[in-house]
Chain A
Amino acid sequence: MFFPILKAQSTKSLTRSVGYLHAQPKRVRGLVRDPATFLQSPCGKAYDIQSTSSLKTYLGEEYALDDNLLLQVLTHKSFAHGMKPFNEKLSVHGSQFLKHKSAIHTVNSEKGISALGSLESRKTLSTDILAAFVKQQGFADVIYWKKRDDSITDPTQSGENSIKAGVLEALIGALLVTRGAGVAEKFVFEKLLSENSKDSLVNIVRAQA
């Protein structure tokens, strides 16, 4: 049912303020924390629009994106209890687009349809390879997320790899949603699936083998 929006008679509402900021390292229950203590990446970079610069240089003029969107791409759902825009859906969208384009790429290459579902094609889009790509491009330390457990250092165990892979997928998703499928397709073919590009996913797989 839809009804016209009504204006409320009285706009007064009671507000409650019980918390106050404090910057002590020790947490005190019931007190609001100083945002600066938790709004930072695991590497210690503050949550700031300036930190997108490395990703911005990587994308260049051709694939330029809005700064706020780039910050969203770099932010995982676990960061700041989801109060900042995060990349969850962008990465799902990007991942599906990547799989779709990679299937088309394989079918149209000389390998043909028989190469679909092969070990190599599955490995190219695996989490580890996508994470290796992000690490190589150097925007891994400005990814904002919260570790499940600080004592785990192995990137496959701590979820670091899947977070990095998610950022790359979210980047594709962001290009797709704001610039359309044409630009995103060009990005995928040029930077990720091309054999000529030195650090494409295909070549990372070959280098690891």
Chain B
Amino acid sequence: MPIKPISQIPKFQNGVGAFILNCKRIVLQVDKAGGSSEGLRNFLKLRLNNYATAHSKIEFTVIQKAGHPVVKGEFINGSEKAICVRNLNIDNVENKINLLRESSGETLRKRNNKVESINESVRGVWSPLHTEPSVRHKI
């Protein structure tokens, strides 16, 4: 055969076409009686119902376990992020949950370029061999 195909797997670009919320599940781990869990307990009592209704794309799970309270986010790319919310009040707990909800699930890393793109440059790469021969640099 004169032409052989080389197979590739397409790259997923969330938000081009459909956008899928990266956070799929938030696990709220709470202690029944511990003092450090008070903020999270209040959140569960007063706000969880409305919060879960407003963000129906996320599954909320409550686990009761002795120790400090933890909120854990699970993401579509398979990663997990856990935040300890001991001694935080109800507003700060909600902020931490918002943080998980808005996170992409990727590990944080330093970005060296202002723009990162998987597309080729539209302008092309400058070539010294295509300049006018009279002004071309001679070695």
Contacts and interface: CB of A to CB of B under 8 A. Distances in A.
Verify whether A and B have any Cβ pair under 8 Å: yes
Interface of A: 1-3
B124 interface: yes
B125 interface: yes
Interface in B108-135: 124-125, 127, 130
The 5 A-B pairs with the shortest beta carbon distances in the complex, nearest first, are A1-B124, A2-B124, A3-B130, A1-B125, A1-B127
A2 B124 CA distance: 7
Interface of B is mostly: loop
A1 B126 CA distance: 10
Contacts of B124: 1-2
A2 B127 CA distance: 11
Contacts of B130: 3
A6 to B, nearest CB: 10
Contacts, number: 5
5 contacts: A1-B124, A1-B125, A1-B127, A2-B124, A3-B130
Interface in B83-139: 124-125, 127, 130
A2 B130 CA distance: 11
A81 to B, nearest CB: 13
A16 to B, nearest CB: 23
Contacts of A1: 124-125, 127
Contacts of A2: 124
A2 B121 CA distance: 11
Nearest to A2: B124
A188 B53 CA distance: 47
A1 B124 CA distance: 6
Nearest to A6: B130
Contacts of B125: 1
Nearest to A4: B130
A3 to B, nearest CB: 7
A7 to B, nearest CB: 15
B117 to A, nearest CB: 17
Nearest to A1: B124
A3 B130 CA distance: 9
B91 to A, nearest CB: 51
Contacts of A3: 130
A35 B125 CA distance: 48
A2 to B, nearest CB: 6
A203 B124 CA distance: 59
A46 to B, nearest CB: 29
B12 to A, nearest CB: 25
B123 to A, nearest CB: 10
A48 B79 CA distance: 64
B101 to A, nearest CB: 37
A128 B130 CA distance: 58
Nearest to B122: A2
Interface string B19-38: 00000000000000000000
